A and B are shown apart, each in its own frame.
Chain A
């Protein structure tokens, strides 16, 4: 049980580690590093949009080709190399074993391989910036024929085609999926088989439920995309014609395969963060999570619905208009289970005893911003309005209002909540609050005005808008400038986080075992949990959210306290 007596070499302890916490940290730090790359790309193209033609500080002049590459890679990196490693792999690795009360993952070596394959995938993606022609620039969706032959003419030389921006991006994504599948199978097997004694399904903390549901959606939907991506790779490298209409292929096929994965993917990214809210809100409201079981059922329902909404990304792609009606109905209906989950979180607050601590501020900020992101989805789910709004900044603002809170507010909430547990140090509150407010304000000033740019019909992925009469007028030019300046401030505000992280690690106050008086199992382990997590396997006697129980002296009862003592 207690593995800390082993003497591990530096390499086995910090680099090729099989400890779930180290692997979680590796995933998180790689994800944050990639977020800096993605943020820098965003800075460059946002600067170009506000001040077209100007030389960009720290970069220089931007060419149309580079602009396309940067927009594409910003999306790719933020979804597959920031959100996936931090939310799914990072949270999953850090939290699953310790919250279900076990020593490690079911397959620790597979877990280690999963990270190193992921690391390789990041290297392949970054390397694609330096091949002739640069990184792929045809949109993160990689629609053929632009990705197969329209972008740069397909090189008949096998090696040159293999080392083109497009095929390297596909390879990187494929490696990333291999890594996430290895991690995913580990998550599910660990949760099913390694739970502490007494940890029945409805005593599992919500975040563990949600990570597992997300993993299952991911594993279910990724197969068609992997097939689609390999056909794409064959079209580029071997000259096959799966997507070439001249040889009997069909470019729309890829769109279906892509979005069959691509839409469930947004729920793969959303659920782990929502699970984190489900842990944080009860702790700082001192109340049980409202309708915990029903939330689990609603999440399973939304997971099922998530695979029948994909073609809403293709309303104007020339799919059969009658089919679009079906997907429009599905899309609008999926708002119902998610509304149920969010309303239950809000209901948890009512009648509570709310402490606005840092993790709670991020959690509440997440809900507030996501309300805007989710509800603007109703406009886009309507297929008729989507004819107009499709591929405009309305879509861009909408998905940033969903994904930014999801990825960053979700991550920061989790980070500030579990930092004391996994590092043994307390974070500094004051600078943390400043970081929250600056991020909250600059995020809104970056993206809110872009809804209006979208409504005036500003379409996406354009290098220079000056030739479009609907966009090249006031107030939309000013909105672009405000968005860019805010985006720069938003990125700079994150330096506060880096500073807080490093300085708290070095000189933060020592954290106690259970600083938040939380009832779940991870808080019964030492801060920092040793390799193996617990000294003895914990046993579970109750659900994860026993706060403010009537007739109880303490305002919370940890999961591992036997009934007679409580």
Chain B
């Protein structure tokens, strides 16, 4: 009884290993040059939102699955730490999906009457990529956060 089970495990492992090998190969092919280009493109995207400001990596929380089976609807929630008073509140939260054909996902505008800087929606993701959430506060400061989502089936059509 134990032998078939052991065999099954071995098969699974070798399958996983070969799959990992293929993935590594694919990463190797895209190369460091492509990555450098990506980094510059991402920088440009962020700059479009924040201008010359340097957003601090704090206060913004992105709740999104690490692995999205279906890129057509990836549920996400963003919350930003803020008292949401007239003097100190979150004005806008921008969502950017860096690997999409059009990286802009949405921009959400809050008011002190919101009570809580929280929004939940669903986004499309064409492939595995980084998601950025950038919060602009009422005093003009920016905060941001980044999360990587692995996409099994892309959701941008072809």
A and B physically associate: no
Spell out A's residues near B (CB within 8 Å): none
